[in-house]
Structure 1
Amino acid sequence: MAVGLGIMQGGSSLWYFQGVGKPVRGVAVEAFGQLTALGLIMMFVVDGHGLLLALFFQLIGFAIVCGLGGCMMFAQVGFRAPTMRSLVTSLRDTFPLFFSRASVVIFSTASVFLMSVLAKPQDAAVYGASDRVIGAFTAFLSPLASIMLSKLVGETSRDRLRGLNLSIIMISTVAFVYSMITVFLLFFSHTLMSFLFGAQFKEGGDVLNVLALTLPIIAANTVMGAQVLVSLRMDKYIAITLSGAAVVSLVSTFLIVPNYAGIGMASSRIITEIFIFLCYSFLILRARKAPG
């Protein structure tokens, strides 16, 4: 079922609607499918024993996204069977883009596996629960990013400097909004963890406090990487940066987690996100100073 979820995620038509300048339509389809899945989960899943049912409802949500989005896409462009030559050409030309997207999950996934080895099971569980809370907030960045990207690509293609100045405004605005969310989490982290996962996870509030500090940085990195650098056709540099982040994450996890468990893992996440932020900032400033 998890494999099916992965395939469905890759089958979204969101990128098509971004490419034709209609990102809101793609986001609407994504939101409809996900909200449908969320509604089903809230109605029928009452405890941890309903995990498989929850995954099945998620699968339904993604199926709606793929089915409805696919129908809308093919209604506009029609369906043509690709040739082997066109498939090979597409894979070759889009590999840097694919690799930059795949690199996003490399450092976080590798670090989680390393933590499971270095920390106690209960510490890993507490960190995982805290990370789910952060993930719920960062999930809003995906549809927001889809709308932003089309705007940035248009501005950058017409006037490079104006597009970069607009990107700085977007980065600052998104980071500010997520800073407010961070303040909220810092005040209510223990209560939130206890409410969502039970009293036994209340201690996870300390881990959530540290993870909350990453929210403004993650938000800024998402805009800088997935929007600004993509609009500048710098996918290769995104992949290089995130590959370096994987190394930073693994090293910091190995050094910190054995002594500080979940808080150490959260601290490693902060270090990694700061590394990405500094690299992206350097690339954007260099592009801003470049002629043309």
Structure 2
Amino acid sequence: MLLITPYLSRVFDQNLWGKVIAAQALIGWITLIVDFGTSIFASNYLAVIRENKNDVKRLVSGVISIKSLICLILIPILIVYSMFDSKIPKLMLIYTYLTGITQGMSTLWFFQGFERLEKFSYAEISVRIIYLASVFIFVKSDSDSYIVFLSLIINLGLLYTLSYVNIWRNYTRFTLSISYGLEVVKQSYTIASFSLITSIYSIASVFIYSLFAASFNVSLYGNGDRLIRATIAMMGPLNQIFAPKSAIIFSRSNIEGWRNFKRMLLFYGLLGAIVTIGLYFSGSFIAEVVFGSKYAYSGNVIRNLSILLFLVAINTAMTYHLLIPAGQSVVMNKVYILASLICGISICIMVPSYGITGMVFSVIIPEVFALLCMSVFIFKWRRLNVFSV
């Protein structure tokens, strides 16, 4: 989405752009709900049982069934939402729903489980390139806003439909079954619960903000939030590189694991501090270059949210390079669930009174809370001489 943001922020009216930002945030939440943690569970489980045709059929049928059921359940919920909130126009809300369920029905998990991901990845990348091209070519004014959604629905919908046909013909003759679906829910419930709750201050935060703010303010805040989130996402590859090494080191020795954690903490801390300082002093310039002069205020949002880079960097070091490899992921889960609930409550209390400033604090406070909680736990853990053996 960030690739088309500079273009769309200039093409659309500020109020319309705020509505599109809110809709895109809702799309991310719908996608997460429809997936319901099945992608993580199913891809891992499929890798184990893929030689057993009956088990594969039960799993695939269960995943498709529960996703289809969730798609149906969401319809009355969104109808009720449309009756009480008019921030997202009804037609745009329909497109939002269709885009969300289309992405949620992705077959990526299946090809991951069978280790046949290469061709599917090429196809999905190609489809997304076509989508980007269609936006730049066909979206020229406010009246073309529907293309932003419809193009993605058509392109991804066609890809996933062909994928399901491929699975049906070459792998397993899946069926719709509530009982199979419930079996999958029992296994994916924990993952889904954690993902949905923690999404409150990540994927869904802008949408929740849109419930309390004018569309114009959503565009101002949403621009800054989107850029900050994209910058934070760049830490993902670092985690993929260093996290497995940290796990291996911890498996050998707690002492070496602790020493490695201190090195990672220093590295992530310095990186986060550098990026935070850079964004703080260049926020206004970045906002005008990326989003256009009419969104100059988004520069203040970028500057104020820049501290998140440092906070997330420190928290990432503590979670990926100490708690998880040391077998304390339960602590991390509890902390982030509480942080998400704090974020949701804070948005409801602070945004109506303090607007964008309240939203900025509502996003920063949970990350500070997570940092303090994990620091206290690690300090107490350290005093127990856990890392002396």
TM-score by length of 1: 0.71
Q: Distance in 2 between matches of 1:214 and 1:35?
A: 33
Aligned match for 1:5, one of 97, 103, 108: 103
CA spacing shift, 1:48–1:60, aligned 2, 3 Å:
closer
Asked if the contact 1:221–1:277 (Cα under 8 Å) also holds between the matched residues in 2, the reply is: yes
Q: Distance in 1 between matches of 2:121 and 2:364?
A: 29
Q: In structure 1, what is the equivalent of residue 337 of structure 2?
A: 243
Q: Distance in 1 between matches of 2:256 and 2:126?
A: 36
Q: In structure 1, what is the equivalent of residue 313 of structure 2?
A: 219
The 3-state SS of whatever aligns with 2:327 is coil
Q: In structure 1, what is the equivalent of residue 60 of structure 2?
A: none
CA positional deviation for 1:42: 6.7
Greater alpha carbon shift after TM alignment, 200-209 vs 7-16: 7-16
Q: Distance in 2 between matches of 1:115 and 1:166?
A: 39
CA positional deviation for 1:114: 3.7
Q: Distance in 1 between matches of 2:193 and 2:325?
A: 16
Runs of 5+ consecutive residues of structure 2 not aligned to the other structure: 1-98, 161-180
Q: In structure 2, what is the equivalent of residue 170 of structure 1?
A: 264
5 Å-filtered alignment, 1:140-219, equals 140-219=234-313
Matched, 1:105 2:199: yes
Amino acid at match of 2:136: V
5 Å-filtered alignment, 1:30-49, equals 37=128, 41=132, 45=136
CA positional deviation for 1:205: 1.0
CA spacing shift, 1:101–1:189, aligned 2, 3 Å:
same
CA positional deviation for 1:37: 4.6
Q: In structure 2, what is the equivalent of residue 229 of structure 1?
A: 323
Asked if the contact 1:127–1:204 (Cα under 8 Å) also holds between the matched residues in 2, the reply is: yes
Asked if the contact 2:200–2:343 (Cα under 8 Å) also holds between the matched residues in 1, the reply is: no
CA positional deviation for 1:224: 2.2
Runs of 5+ consecutive residues of structure 1 not aligned to the other structure: 18-25, 67-86
Q: Distance in 2 between matches of 1:112 and 1:255?
A: 15
Q: Distance in 2 between matches of 1:90 and 1:4?
A: 20
Q: Distance in 2 between matches of 1:153 and 1:110?
A: 31
CA spacing shift, 1:40–1:92, aligned 2, 3 Å:
closer
Moved >6 Å (runs of 4+): 12-17, 29-36, 50-63, 87-94
Amino acid at match of 2:245: K
CA positional deviation for 1:157: 1.1
CA positional deviation for 1:279: 1.5
Amino acid at match of 2:350: I
Asked if the contact 2:131–2:155 (Cα under 8 Å) also holds between the matched residues in 1, the reply is: no
5 Å-filtered alignment, 1:130-145, equals 130-145=224-239
Q: Distance in 1 between matches of 2:320 and 2:154?
A: 27
CA positional deviation for 1:140: 1.0
Aligned match for 1:259, one of 353, 356, 373: 353
Greater alpha carbon shift after TM alignment, 196-205 vs 268-277: 196-205
Q: In structure 2, what is the equivalent of residue 115 of structure 1?
A: 209
CA spacing shift, 1:209–1:251, aligned 2, 3 Å:
same
Q: In structure 2, what is the equivalent of residue 72 of structure 1?
A: none
Q: Which whole-Å deviations, capped at 9, do the CAs of 1:226-275 have from their partners, x for residues lacking one?
A: 44322222232222111211222123223322233222211221111100
How many residues are paired up? 273
CA positional deviation for 1:289: 3.7
Amino acid at match of 2:292: G
Asked if the contact 2:351–2:359 (Cα under 8 Å) also holds between the matched residues in 1, the reply is: yes
Asked if the contact 2:139–2:147 (Cα under 8 Å) also holds between the matched residues in 1, the reply is: no
Q: Percent same amino acid among aligned pairs?
A: 22
Q: Rg bigger for which structure?
A: 2
Asked if the contact 2:102–2:156 (Cα under 8 Å) also holds between the matched residues in 1, the reply is: no
Q: Which whole-Å deviations, capped at 9, do the CAs of 1:7-56 have from their partners, x for residues lacking one?
A: 54972988999xxxxxxxx9xx9899779956973796268569777779
Superposition RMSD on alpha carbons, in Å?
4.5
CA spacing shift, 1:109–1:195, aligned 2, 3 Å:
same
CA spacing shift, 1:201–1:208, aligned 2, 3 Å:
same
Q: Distance in 2 between matches of 1:147 and 1:52?
A: 39
